[in-house]
Structure 1
């Protein structure tokens, strides 16, 4: 017997406040199959869906079967999001690398487009993951009244209400605000690491770099030759020269003198 979703009280957050500000670059862009005009628009919607759920999808991470069904109108955008959440890529990248509570936080941000209200809500959804499993949790999240009221069947989920009138900048995107790995797995993988550089390298623009054959290359060599000085001869005074000891002479023995006489 599965445990029903526990009750939790929503807190006042940005996505629950009606907006009256003018549009800007930070306002979320809504993608829906109800206003697609060409196949190019469908390609953009699929790419945005991968960024919303996976943050980035390589070629091996894509789901061509789900893409084909969505292009042909066999499934809705909600079914496409469900397939991405139940894919092997999402399991390996999020479900296997986080505990249930952090996995709930990731899913609520990507599916409902908001932050977790409180620890009570995180605990409530964590019980659903433990009792109904991954697929039961995803189904209940996509079938919730909040998801259907904000996104329905044909609108892609997005981060709601990033901008408030009282702030100069909006909230950080969920992909930057919540890293994919939790603290334990980041420590196991050895990142992030802060590497300090002891030597600061100066940048020289390309136009200021000396090219081969430039006379400036030989300036240092010429300056070195002109400043080079030979060893000066030692200075010896004539008064300090001992001529008697310096000039060699031959000694004659007395025995030799007697013999010759």
Structure 2
């Protein structure tokens, strides 16, 4: 018999309070599926769902069957989120590479749009994850009253934050505080690493102009002085310095 979800308390009173500011650049932008949705709105909803669950979805990570069902009105946005959380991409690139506690933090942040209420909530959901699997935990999150009251059936989950007095910035994005790979696998994969995918800017013509005092301007002159004195072009590389070191025997 599966164990029920243990009771847990919020870490602070501010965790379940609505944002105090009416509108701001830091406020999350909710993306909902309207009843008379057009194709452009559907594309926005789908891309927002991918960014919320995967942060970035490559062409191989996309789910064309789920997208088709959503476009045809066969499933809701809530069902689309469930399909992404149970997809092969999530299983392969996240669930199989992290501990249960890390998976719990990720799912709560991505599905419910908030951070976990301390270790007590992580332990509660980890029990559900261990007994019912990732599918059972995702169903419990989507069926919870908190999710239905906040996002309903046709709104893509987003990060909920509350800007408090005395703080210049709001909550840090989840993809920064909770990366996809754990520290162990980041070390194996060689993360963090900088990969530049843009276009390199060409060197301007003025940077190629030789200026006075540049060391490169005197290389030919220095090589000519060495040849004039009969020195080897290779410099002092062929000198046997060990034979020139004075040697004193122990008997002296």
Query: So what's the TM-score if we normalise by structure 2?
Result: 0.76
Measure how far apart 1:9 and its partner are.
1.1
Please list, as runs of the form range in 1=range in 2, the aligned pairs for 1:1-261 lying within 5 A after superposition: 1-12=1-12, 14-34=14-34, 37-161=37-161, 163-192=163-192, 206=204, 208-210=206-208
Whole-Å Cα distance in 2 between the matches of residues 87 and 142 of structure 1? 16
8 Å contact 2:18–2:162 — kept in the other structure?
no
**Cα shift at 1:31:** 0.6
For the structure 1 residues 48 and 36, does the alpha-carbon distance in structure 2 shift closer, same or farther, using more than 3 Å as the test? Answer: farther
Query: For structure 1, which segment, 163-172 or 147-156, has the greater mean C-alpha deviation from structure 2 after superposition?
Result: 163-172
Displacement of 1:206 after TM fit?
Answer: 1.9
**Contact 2:17–2:162 (CA<8 Å) still a contact in 1?**
no
Contact 1:110 1:159 in 2 (8 A): yes
RMSD: 3.0
Which secondary structure state, in structure 2, belongs to the residue aligned with residue 91 of structure 1?
helix
Kindly state the Cα deviation for residue 162 of structure 1 after the two structures are TM-superposed.
5.1
User: Offset at 1:36?
Assistant: 6.0
Shift of 1:209: 1.4
With 170-179 and 36-45 compared, the bigger mean Cα shift is at 36-45
Residue in 2 aligned with 1:237? Answer: none
Give the Cα–Cα distance (whole angstroms) in 2 for the partners of residues 162 and 174 of structure 1: 14
Q: Kindly provide the CA deviation profile for residues 46-79 of structure 1, in whole angstroms up to 9, marking residues without a partner as x.
A: 0010010011111111001100111111101000
TM-score, length-normalised on structure 1?
0.74
Please list every run of 5 or more consecutive structure 1 residues that lacks an aligned counterpart in the other structure. 195-203, 232-261
Larger-Rg structure: 1
Instruction: Quote how far apart the aligned CAs of 1:131 are.
Output: 0.6
Aligned-pair CA distance for 1:38: 2.2
Give ranges in structure 2 of 5+ residues lacking alignment.
195-201, 229-252
Q: Is contact 2:20–2:163 with CA below 8 Å preserved after alignment? A: no
Distance 1:112 1:62, change over 3 A: same
Q: CA deviation at 1:211?
A: 5.2
Equivalent position SS for 1:90:
helix
Question: How many residues in Structure 1 have an aligned counterpart in Structure 2?
Answer: 215
How has the CA–CA distance of structure 1 residues 63 and 24 changed in structure 2, closer, same or farther, with 3 Å as cutoff?
same
Going from structure 1 to structure 2, the CA distance change for 1:9 and 1:54 (only over 3 Å counts) comes to same
Residues 64 and 193 from structure 1, CA distance in 2 versus in 1: closer, same or farther, beyond 3 angstroms?
closer
What residue number does 1:245 align with?
none
The CA distance in 2 between the partners of 1:26 and 1:185, in whole Å, is: 32
1:74-122, CA deviations, whole angstroms, 9 ceiling, x for partnerless residues? Answer: 1010000000000000011111011111100000000000001011110
